[in-house]
Amino acid sequence: MVAMTQLRVGERAKIVDLSQVSDLVKRRLLDMGVTEGAEICLKCTMPLGGPFMIENCGQCVGIRRHEAMNIQVKPL
């Protein structure tokens, strides 16, 4: 189990733990179907500590790096 920030671009992983993410962000991720057990793919990252773009069931979502750091995933 690693933080999402450890993934390489293009790598797929399963979300294991969202409990460290702030409530508001967690709610929004839930709304978009990014939940524990969901399979995601890291699409790209922005430079200088910028946001991450992840894909889940064909839906792309942008989140900040420090939120991604709090998301625990299991690479597939």
Name the residues that contact other proteins, by CB under 8 A: 22, 24-25, 27-33, 35, 43-51, 53, 57-64, 67
Element (H, E) at 28: helix 23-31
Q: How far apart are CA 2 and CA 66, in angstroms?
A: 14
Comparing CB distances to other proteins, the nearer of 20 and 35 is 35
Please report how close the Cβ of residue 1 comes to other proteins at its closest, in angstroms: 21
Please report how close the Cβ of residue 39 comes to other proteins at its closest, in angstroms: 13
3-state helix, strand, coil in the chain (%, to 5): 20, 40, 40
Please report how close the Cβ of residue 75 comes to other proteins at its closest, in angstroms: 20
